[in-house]
Chains A and B, each alone.
Chain A
Amino acid sequence: MTERDEIRNQMVWSRLISAIEEQAQTVIRTAFSQSVRECGDLSAGVFNRRGQMVAQAVTGTPGHVNSMAICIGHFLEAFPIDTMRPGDVFVTNDPWLSVGHYHDVTVVTPAFYRGRAVGLLANTCHIVDMGGRGFGPDARQCYEEGINIPIMHLARGGVVNEDLMGLLRTNVRNATDMEGDFYAMMACNDEGARRLVAMLEEFDLDDIETIGDYIIGRSRDAIRTAIRALPDGRFRHATELDGFDEPIRICAELTVDGDAVHVDYTGSSPASPFGINLVHNFSLAYTAFGVNCIVGPDVPCNAGSLEPITVSAPPGSILNALRPRPVSARHVIGQMLPDVVFGCLAQVVPERVPAEGAGAMWNPMIRGGATAVEPDIAAGAAVLSRDYDVILFNSGGSGGRPAMDGLSTTAFPSGVRTPPVEAVETSFPLLVWRKEYREGSGGPGRCRGGLGQRLEIGGEDGAPFSVAAMFDRTWRAPEGRFGGHEGAPGQVRLKSGRRLKSKGRQSVPYNDRLVLELPGGGGYGDPRQRDPARVAADVADGLISREDAREVYGVVLVADGSVDQDATRSLRAESKRL
């Protein structure tokens, strides 16, 4: 390879990432589902002829991206690359072949250049409704959770598969949005394919096989080098989660062996009877993300950066559930896996690993209308709304970090954003009465955990509605690290007082409201080592109470809110002696 070839390869790499970024922008701008358009719940990637992911859009959510990387192999098994024709588009939402539940639909389009398929463009989007019970954990079998699209043509030679679309239209609640999203996903891949071909032309390449090997090789080497810098060993961590109606145990053993990391989940709970189970793809996706965050955050995500990280979980366990187990709300467990991985890595590189956070997002799936609630609640309501389904994305606090506080109400590990309340209320007969910080919820620490939030949601004119609860960490709070305290656990209740379960569909009666209190992140380090000035600032901002400042942080404030230095010193000294 000449010196100029090296420069050119770098140029092509950069161009591929740009192409995929453009592809993602297209779907964001044209999609109908609020989850995609306002919140960025999607991913996009470009794959070589062998189905290896060469580049992905940085807008993606980790659960999508890393699962999508695996699912392309299944498409190529069903439709070998040289049998694909220009204008063909393929689709699936089979949880076990792709991204773990029916809502995440993956669309794949081959790009053609000089008469040959030169690569695949893929994107995955969360479609709000795919039929069945709708998004939620209540099903006992996957068949209740929606309509399964086996890998098949979405378009053949440029003509949309009307048989499939017709079947889908009659099986989902909002056919227009669903169809609009499918078109957006096709447009997105078309754009990516155009960019890919333009790039091949400009650099006079036949395909992306050689350049793909260069990109994948470089990324793999970078991750392997980073892993080699870690001490070898086996590191175990276990955690408990709410589960559906009984606690779930997740046990991980992380092995660093030379330049590879393996995470084994033997000992974890068996599959749940309810829809909070993960397919293996999805467990791998969030595990690899957790490892990459700590080990190689700067390495672009592709087949190379994923290769050195392997995952195993016993078949039939909650992290490797088998058909026909229900899987709809798998994110409530999946989004906790980075914290489990962090629990192992905190023993390896403590200076890089944050405390536990809220983990899974709190996304109430709300359904309104006469059939959304129990018949007696509908009968007792003075007002009933039209039929609607909407999902609201919300984040709790993230864990305190080695040198910084945790982030309040910020998604981690998911990258999904919250929709504006004004946009929600414009489109749906709902009123969000409150959406603000949950004071005192951040776990105390030298670096405080981020705060959760408090939401209060009611129907317009008091109309009843139901919510598919899929929330966690209400029973066991996010843990602190290295002397940091735990964050506040979450809570689900009615405004009138009654506590609701953290999982499953439940009704909010006429004139009542749903109250969600999201967990705060755990603290990092001893709170008595926190800078007293920052404790005073937290009190002034109402993030912690004066009492906690004194009792937990050992900081005494004078009447005007500033730090009483002497009293603080002696209080902290006293607590050390005890």
Chain B
Amino acid sequence: MFEGQARIGVDVGGTFTDAVLEVGDRRFTSKVLTTPRDPEQGCMQCIEEMLRHAGLGPDAVGVIVHGTTLATNSIIERKGATTSLLTTEGFRDTLQMGTEGRPDQYDINVTQPEPLVPRRRRITVEERLNSRGEVLVPLTTGKLDAVLPILDAAGTESLAIAFLHSYANPVHERLAREHLSRCRPDWSVSLSCEVSPEFREFERFSTTCANAYVRPLMERYLTAFAAQLRQRGFVCPLLLMLSSGGLTTVEIAKAFPVRLVESGPAGGAIFAQGIAAAHGIEKAVSFDMGGTTAKICLIDDTRAQTSRRFEVARVYRFRRDSGLPLRIPVIEMVEIGAGGGSIAGIDALGRIAVGPQSAGSDPGPACYGRGGRRATVTDANLVMGRIDPEGFAGGRMALTTRDAQDALMADVGQPMSVSLETAAFGVTEIVCENMATAVRVHAIESGKNVDDRTLIAFGGAAPLHACQLARKLGIRRIIVPRHAGVGSAVGFLRAPISYEVVRTFHQRVDAFEAEAVNTVIRDMEDEAKGYVRMAAGPAALSIRRQAYMRYQGQGHEIAVDVPNGRFDASAGAGLQALFDEEYRAVFGRDIGTVAAAEVVAWRVTAGTAPFPDPFSGPFSGPARADASRGAAPAPISRPVLDPAFESPVACAVHDRETLESGFSVSGPAILAEDETSTVVDVRFEAAVLPGGDVELRQRAP
């Protein structure tokens, strides 16, 4: 698809709008401040600037891929529609009661997230299904008529309808929509059986309400953006990046905007996935570290790990169960409060603590000289000599080392009675330790190892810490790709057009109803393919089926890839074997001899192939050690504190832009570029690969 035509990716983030244009073997990038009122203005500015540089007109563009944090921000800032929830009698407060747990065991003053729909707009109606989808208490139009005035009085703009067990039978939710839409045609209506047809009512209700809450806003925005593009002469399709890492059409994005919430970070993971594919890396961990957060994702066989659960708008930013749960297909990522702006200090026990609070960009780290007084990770890196105070952000912003030193001594050095160097080193060690912990816990949750992976480091702060983090994880190889600063937007251009449908349909493998399953799966495949066809036309599609399985009696499911094709009478035994094998891989032993397995939910993904990276060349064995081919300008030298030494040592600083493929150097060294610097610790060697990506390898001890 889109061969020979220009392809554009635009990522609207909280601070910046990033864009990239690829045509043939040329790539153009653009970055402007986000225009929060009319985000499409910033997008148009980027797009037109890149087209000018490329000397192309709108008609040369084959596709525009778009991702945005708009939906997420409207949830965090509570700027969505006036939303009401219609739910089953007896369950008015499910949305707010949640799990009934506390996100912190010891904190008396712990707080919980406010639900998107307050109690006054949660309205119940008498109806009831059981877990098999059988009607116990019928819903009637008369009962719906009775709640209409209450919904009117609540000022409803958008309506979420979420009934108990609707995943098993959508009949009541559909009846409610049909009747209420007829009575109130201007309401936007979201059904839980369509938004998230899975069991566990709190998560399904929460997801449906979030969808309803952002839907009117997203409909307006996407309509306006599409209209702008048409008006400016673009005839190409506009596709939206989904949290799952796939692409979809504007129409589907308008119906299920909750699926867009993590599109930016998903773009970053897809970017790393493309790098992994280009270099033939089977097992990778994507490490995206910016000013406020670090995001980490495991990539196996060039496929980023996926999940069905995500939390948005956490009260305690990085603490599980403190946000609103969304049950949607997402690229599974851990996000932790570790970035260049993360604030460092000493806790009640005299330990260094870093983050999750961030100095952000305003006032920013102490060294920015904009009034920030608190020590940050960037200040520590500056003191260690890893950042050039003159060369930061391409030299556009001079950093004041003195302020960084003062802040570090005041916040860390003096309270701990250690030297400035130890304080700076300690801060970077702790922030890396925090990230390493997050990676390890994340990996164990999926039964995966970390130390056999390649780290793919991008984002402004990742290349500074990649070696230090890799050592903590036992990782021996790192790739620092080109164009790491606009990684998400580049990732948009690698994403396949795809759509996932997940549905709860319980099946015990020892009483497997093959025909019923075949019907459900066929419906799901038709639905997924239909959505993909809308954007992909007749392109070849692949189908991936997964079953979420557990032993009967267990509470958590694991995803098992299952073969395509019709299930027959023997399918149950086959599923049990597949599950036992997967369970062994994750947990070390299976218990198939004492327990039969069951399928809780099914997942079908239909999609095109991902778009390959046209730039990064294939990886061709270990980097050559001869530096002769890389006749770069002689490096300058400055003292840098390497984690292996207690005081700074002379370190060669190379300009990355001038380095050619085949160049290699042993640490300690720094490869500086406009947006970041790659720190090569003393235990590592760096080499520039064909295509310009940098590879770091840990030397044998």
Contacts and interface: CB of A to CB of B under 8 A. Distances in A.
B429 A11 contact: yes
B449 to A, nearest CB: 11
A383 interface: no
Interface in A262-302: 289, 292-294, 296-300
Contacts of B425: 7
A536 to B, nearest CB: 11
8 contacts: A14-B434, A29-B556, A179-B594, A407-B112, A412-B102, A417-B99, A420-B203, A422-B131
A426 B595 contact: no
Contacts of A418: 97, 99-101
A415 B165 CA distance: 27
Interface string B553-570: 111100000000000000
Nearest to A424: B131
Given A297-B108, A404-B111, A22 B434 contact: no
A176 B430 contact: no
Nearest to B351: A10
Interface string B346-360: 011111100000000
B587 A30 contact: yes
B25 interface: no
B589 A417 contact: no
Interface of B: 89-94, 96-97, 99-102, 105-112, 118-120, 128, 130-131, 136, 164-165, 199-203, 347-352, 416, 418-419, 422, 425-426, 429-430, 433-434, 437, 440-441, 444-445, 472, 474, 506, 551, 553-556, 587-589, 591, 594-595, 646
A422 B591 contact: no
Contacts of A541: 118-120
A422 B200 contact: yes
Nearest to B350: A218
A3 to B, nearest CB: 4
Contact of B101 (A40, A177, A292, A435): A40
Given A7-B426, A297-B106, A423-B199, A190 B588 contact: yes
B417 to A, nearest CB: 8
Interface stretch (A31-39, A44-52, A320-328, A482-490): A31-39
Given A410-B101, A434-B90, A453-B97, A187 B106 contact: no
A183 B591 contact: yes
Contact of A3 (B96, B112, B350, B419): B419
A421 B201 contact: yes
B463 to A, nearest CB: 22
Given A176-B594, A298-B348, 13 more contacts: A15-B437, A26-B587, A32-B553, A222-B348, A293-B106, A297-B107, A354-B108, A395-B100, A410-B101, A411-B100, A416-B101, A460-B130, A542-B119
A547 B97 CA distance: 25
Interface residues of A, number: 91
A31 B595 CA distance: 12
A187 B422 contact: no
Contacts of A427: 553
Contact of B553 (A10, A180, A404, A453): A180
A15 B587 CA distance: 21
Contacts of A7: 352, 422, 425-426, 429
Given A180-B554, A411-B101, A416-B101, A25 B441 contact: yes
Contact of A410 (B91, B102, B106): B102
A218 B93 contact: no
Contacts of A403: 109
Given A3-B422, A426-B131, A299 B349 contact: yes
A431 B130 contact: yes
Contact of B418 (A3, A17, A297): A3
Given A409-B97, A436-B92, A30 B554 contact: yes
Given A422-B201, A435-B90, A541-B120, A180 B351 contact: no
A124 interface: no
Interface string A50-85: 000000001010100000000000000000000000
Contact of A420 (B130, B202, B430): B202
Contacts of B416: 6
A276 B685 CA distance: 65
A437 interface: yes
Interface in A393-412: 393-395, 401, 403-404, 407-412
B554 A32 contact: yes
B106 A292 contact: yes
A540 interface: yes
A542 B199 CA distance: 28
Contact of A58 (B105, B111, B445): B105
Contacts of A21: 437, 441
A352 interface: yes
B445 A31 contact: no
A4 interface: yes
Contacts of A40: 101
A218 B595 CA distance: 46
Please indicate which of the listed interface residues B351, B440, B506, B553 has the most CB atoms of chain A within 10 Å of its own CB.
B553
A289 B106 CA distance: 8
A531 interface: no
A426 B506 contact: yes
Contacts of A293: 106-108
Interface in A532-576: 540-543
A425 interface: yes
Contacts of B89: 434
A294 B201 CA distance: 35
